[in-house]
A and B are shown apart, each in its own frame.
Chain A
Amino acid sequence: MPPRMYRLVVNGELGPRYASAFTGMTVSAASGKTEITGAIIDQSHLQGLLERISDLGLTLYSVTPLDNGNGESGSHGAPPPRS
């Protein structure tokens, strides 16, 4: 699978230290959510990011593949209910 842009959303606005937890990704916080956006090389890369999120005790809200970085594909990103 070729690299693809993804947006991961976690609950809460993360402070600046979290930028170093997701090197290579853009981390931006607003309105009670934090978006982690960037190119994902393959499935292991994505799994690794998800594990990182779990290690840091963050609550994953949604994972969305982006079409060539300009639009959301819509069909993959249904947010799971918060546990």
Chain B
Amino acid sequence: MSSGTIESGRPGLRVIEPKLMPPRVHPGMLRRTRLLAALDGEGGTPLTVLNAAVGYGKTTLVRSWCIERPEPVIWITLDPADDDPARLWTHLATGVERLGQGLGSGAMAAIGTRGAPVEAAVDELMNGLVRHGRPATIVLDDLHTVGSDASLRSLRHAIERVPGNVRVLASTRTDPPIGLARLRARRALAEIRARELAFTVEEAGQMLEHEGIALSGESVELLVERTEGWPAGLYLAALWLRDLDDPDGEVRAFAGSAREVGDYLTEEVLTALAPETRDFLLRTSVLGRFTPELCDAVLGRSDSAAVLGQLAASNMFLVALDARGEWYRYHHLFGEVLQLELSGEAAPELRLRAAAWCSAHGLVEDAIEYAAAAGDAEMVAELLLEHHLRFIWGGRLEQFLGWTRWLPSELLVSHPLLPASAAAAAAALARPDVELERMLVLAERARRRRPELWSPYVEAAVEVTRAEAIQRGDVAAAVEHARRAVAAARAGADVLGVGVLASLSQALFFAGDLDQSRQVAVDAVERPDAPDVPDGYVGALGLLALIDAEQGRSESAEAWARQAIAFAHQRFQADSWVASLAHLGLALACASTDRLDEAEREALRGERLRHSPQPTIGHAHALLVLAQVRVARSRLSRGARDLQRAQRAIAGFPDPGRLPEIAAAVEQSLAATQATAGNRGPIEEPSPAELAVLRGLAAGLSRREIGAELYISLNTVKSHSRELYRKLGAASKAEAVARAEALGLLERSKSPG
């Protein structure tokens, strides 16, 4: 892999086309006039949720509505693998992209960018929809299949930002945890539930008549009563009744039965099928979605296209996903029941054949799914090894980690690349430490078990992951691991070069070796492929800014920082912790050139980006920079608080590197400022109006702004300030604020920040 071509030569995973295909509506399906009108009537509501059990006709209703509407539809059928938000948003972005004008490309670029949070992709996608400007509908079918916090969070983030020209329709079996209560309260949510979706007697009568079934009114009523209007039950009843001589008699018998509706009706429908058709249905039921070729491969026949064509025409439980007869799936309920009927021994063999076909046709994810469902862990491992870069480059870290976690430990230790990549993924996703540790331990065992497979790439990936993990509290060990990662990358994993150099530079920075840290950061940013690794690049630029600021080169520090922040913004790292270093560097540069307001703003931003649930070296350092800037700005009590928080964290680290030294320096300047500000005896108490002006000065407002805020003239502000300076014995704004802070006058302030 040559470094220059990384960007263009990074194939991710292929889009799963049938996920984006809106299912066809069978001509035998009843047009639900009243429900279509209800959907039309909710035109102003950004989100409509159809919530009911399987078989209530949610998908059919949404699909029929979309067909009758002029606006374009982005349809996505969700499934459990969409627990990886990168997969979910790749498919949604693909759908938006197909509206034209490159509307989804920003989102897709964000997903493929290392270290970019998924929310960045969501925001990009919403921007694309705003640019589209015209009405569009997004359908999230089977939303209940998504269960991960990450995906649900990203969906909630999106729902709150859907532009006015876009309507979202979601079908689900359970209320999705995406903030529905809040939307309901804001009247931003329309709901259609089982009660509305159930067939009325009249609708059931129309449907049966359309199917050519002559039933008495009384029988239709019995049928609706027995099925409780459940549409799947009524369609099954139609399939069952249409070839019977005495349908009324059969309905009476059915109404008297205590059998479960779905069970009774499928039993009747399946028994009535020709044995060959029945066999075809049962054996293909292990396939989630299928093409005629896939059926041929799995069943060892060559006429699946004809069989499927016939079935689709006569049976509404086979759903065509496109007009060309390429992709099909069974209705969820029907598919489930068919699988029950299929003997347990047959299924794994059929699934393995499906896995082989999918693998040969480049459908990597489906191949892995089938292999896993067949219980063939070896095959899953082989597929992951072969395609792992597709997962990584496509941003599908959750998915990759999910599969590796599923593999037995014994298998993972024979393939070092798998636990190594999984550890790197776990670190990038900020998974709990135990999970990261488990993968690192497995990688270590794999190193001993299969030394011949322990490549420089694996070594560099494992060492840099260890360095980053350890850096939370043990600086010396982090330096050690980062050095090994750099050595391994030099020996034969050049593709990891930027990342490992940035990691080493940071470890050296915290260890206190600023000159060496700077040299390594320069090496990282001067690599031609540096911009292709946005997180490493932004991190290294930020370190250069910090070091130059500390060493008194504030002009170049500011240039590095601004370059880093602009690039981070452009490459979706603006809200990532890697951008924190640049903001801290900029804060120090501003502080040394007396732009204290800007310095505090930047330090605060840097501190917030570094915030994490557990104490880390990085966050403690950010707190120290913030404290230092606040002390310089004479915000002494806040600075003291930041310093205390940092010191508490530092006390818990096994090796905090140079942080105690920085903390001591901040403490000293705090004490010095407190002394000059506080040692001048009692003062004349400022008036409430003067105190209000004082609060404005402390908040960094100009006199004009203070006047505007307090509804007083500029001249009045000036005279209040003069009085304040006199009472506080101060010669400048900074001094006045410092003294007021030292005297506790600002503690009475209500202003936040």
Q: Which of B54, B173, B267 lies in contact with A15, CB distance below 8 A?
A: B267
Q: Which of B260, B267, B336 lies in contact with A11, CB distance below 8 A?
A: B260
Judged by a CB distance under 8 angstroms, whether B244 is at the interface is: no
> Is A12 a contact partner of B263 (Cβ separation < 8 A)?
yes
Known A17-B340, A55-B54; contact A34-B173, beta-carbon cutoff 8 A: no
Nearest chain A residue, comparing its CB with the CB of B340? A17
> Is B258 a contact partner of A13 (Cβ separation < 8 A)?
yes
Cβ contacts A1-35/B at 8 Å (1 or 0 each): 00000000011111101101100000000011010
Judged by a CB distance under 8 angstroms, whether B182 is at the interface is: no
> Is A18 a contact partner of B340 (Cβ separation < 8 A)?
yes
Chain A stretch 51-83: residues in CB contact (< 8 A) with chain B: 54-59, 83
> Is A15 a contact partner of B259 (Cβ separation < 8 A)?
yes
> Is B260 a contact partner of A21 (Cβ separation < 8 A)?
no
Known A54-B53, A57-B55; contact A10-B260, beta-carbon cutoff 8 A: yes
Known A15-B267, A57-B54; contact A34-B341, beta-carbon cutoff 8 A: no
Known A13-B258, A32-B258; contact A18-B194, beta-carbon cutoff 8 A: no
CB distance from A54 to the nearest CB of B (A): 6
CB distance from A43 to the nearest CB of B (A): 14
CB distance from A14 to the nearest CB of B (A): 5
Residue among A11, A20, A55, A58 facing the most chain B CB atoms (10 A cut-off): A55
> Is A56 a contact partner of B336 (Cβ separation < 8 A)?
yes
Nearest chain A residue, comparing its CB with the CB of B233? A57
Judged by a CB distance under 8 angstroms, whether B333 is at the interface is: yes
Q: Which of B53, B194, B260, B333 lies in contact with A13, CB distance below 8 A?
A: B260
Q: Which of B174, B232, B341 lies in contact with A17, CB distance below 8 A?
A: B341
Complex CA–CA separation, A14 to B54 (angstroms): 17
CB distance from A47 to the nearest CB of B (A): 10
Complex CA–CA separation, A34 to B264 (angstroms): 14
Nearest chain B residue, comparing its CB with the CB of A22? B340
> Is A55 a contact partner of B340 (Cβ separation < 8 A)?
no
List of A residues within 8 angstroms of B230 by Cβ = 57
List of B residues within 8 angstroms of A59 by Cβ = 53
Nearest chain B residue, comparing its CB with the CB of A21? B340
List of A residues within 8 angstroms of B341 by Cβ = 17
Q: How many residues on B have C-beta within 8 angstroms of the other chain's C-beta atoms?
A: 25
Judged by a CB distance under 8 angstroms, whether B321 is at the interface is: no
List of A residues within 8 angstroms of B55 by Cβ = 57
Complex CA–CA separation, A83 to B262 (angstroms): 16
Judged by a CB distance under 8 angstroms, whether B261 is at the interface is: yes
Judged by a CB distance under 8 angstroms, whether B337 is at the interface is: yes
Complex CA–CA separation, A76 to B266 (angstroms): 33
Nearest chain A residue, comparing its CB with the CB of B232? A57
> Is A12 a contact partner of B332 (Cβ separation < 8 A)?
no
Complex CA–CA separation, A31 to B258 (angstroms): 7
Judged by a CB distance under 8 angstroms, whether B344 is at the interface is: yes
CB distance from B614 to the nearest CB of A (A): 26
Nearest chain A residue, comparing its CB with the CB of B335? A55
Chain B stretch 241-280: residues in CB contact (< 8 A) with chain A: 257-264, 267
The count of A-to-B residue pairs whose CB atoms sit within 8 angstroms is 60
List of A residues within 8 angstroms of B194 by Cβ = 83
> Is A14 a contact partner of B340 (Cβ separation < 8 A)?
no
> Is A20 a contact partner of B260 (Cβ separation < 8 A)?
no
List of A residues within 8 angstroms of B267 by Cβ = 15
Known A54-B173, A57-B232; contact A12-B260, beta-carbon cutoff 8 A: yes
> Is A15 a contact partner of B263 (Cβ separation < 8 A)?
yes
Known A12-B263, A14-B263, A15-B263; contact A56-B337, beta-carbon cutoff 8 A: yes
List of B residues within 8 angstroms of A31 by Cβ = 258
Complex CA–CA separation, A21 to B264 (angstroms): 16
List of A residues within 8 angstroms of B54 by Cβ = 54-57
Nearest chain B residue, comparing its CB with the CB of A47? B147
Cβ contacts B317-338/A at 8 Å (1 or 0 each): 0000000000000001100110
> Is A58 a contact partner of B260 (Cβ separation < 8 A)?
yes
Complex CA–CA separation, A14 to B53 (angstroms): 18
> Is A18 a contact partner of B336 (Cβ separation < 8 A)?
no
Complex CA–CA separation, A59 to B55 (angstroms): 12
> Is A57 a contact partner of B262 (Cβ separation < 8 A)?
yes
CB distance from A6 to the nearest CB of B (A): 20
Complex CA–CA separation, A21 to B611 (angstroms): 47
Complex CA–CA separation, A42 to B7 (angstroms): 46
Complex CA–CA separation, A32 to B257 (angstroms): 8
Complex CA–CA separation, A11 to B260 (angstroms): 7
Nearest chain A residue, comparing its CB with the CB of B344? A20
> Is A20 a contact partner of B333 (Cβ separation < 8 A)?
no
List of A residues within 8 angstroms of B336 by Cβ = 55-57
Residue among A11, A13, A18, A56 facing the most chain B CB atoms (10 A cut-off): A56
> Is A20 a contact partner of B340 (Cβ separation < 8 A)?
yes
List of A residues within 8 angstroms of B53 by Cβ = 54, 57, 59, 83
Nearest chain B residue, comparing its CB with the CB of A31? B258
Nearest chain B residue, comparing its CB with the CB of A10? B260
List of B residues within 8 angstroms of A55 by Cβ = 54, 332-333, 336
CB distance from A59 to the nearest CB of B (A): 8
Q: Which of A12, A18, A56, A83 lies in contact with B333, CB distance below 8 A?
A: A56
Complex CA–CA separation, A11 to B233 (angstroms): 14
List of B residues within 8 angstroms of A57 by Cβ = 53-55, 230, 232, 262, 333, 336
Complex CA–CA separation, A54 to B142 (angstroms): 13
Complex CA–CA separation, A10 to B341 (angstroms): 20
> Is B262 a contact partner of A13 (Cβ separation < 8 A)?
no
List of B residues within 8 angstroms of A20 by Cβ = 340, 344
List of B residues within 8 angstroms of A18 by Cβ = 263, 340
Complex CA–CA separation, A54 to B194 (angstroms): 14
Complex CA–CA separation, A3 to B658 (angstroms): 52
List of B residues within 8 angstroms of A13 by Cβ = 257-260
Complex CA–CA separation, A83 to B197 (angstroms): 12
> Is A12 a contact partner of B258 (Cβ separation < 8 A)?
yes
CB distance from A65 to the nearest CB of B (A): 22
Chain B stretch 299-358: residues in CB contact (< 8 A) with chain A: 332-333, 336-337, 340-341, 344
CB distance from A57 to the nearest CB of B (A): 5
Nearest chain A residue, comparing its CB with the CB of B259? A13
A-B contact pairs, 5 of them (CB 8 A): A10-B260, A13-B257, A17-B340, A17-B341, A20-B344
Chain A: residues with CB nearer than 8 A to chain B? 10-15, 17-18, 20-21, 31-32, 34, 54-59, 83
Closest 4 CB pairs of A and B: A12-B260, A32-B258, A57-B54, A17-B340
With contacts A17-B340, A55-B54 known, what are 9 further pairs, Cβ within 8 A?
A12-B260, A12-B263, A13-B260, A18-B340, A20-B340, A21-B340, A34-B260, A54-B53, A83-B194
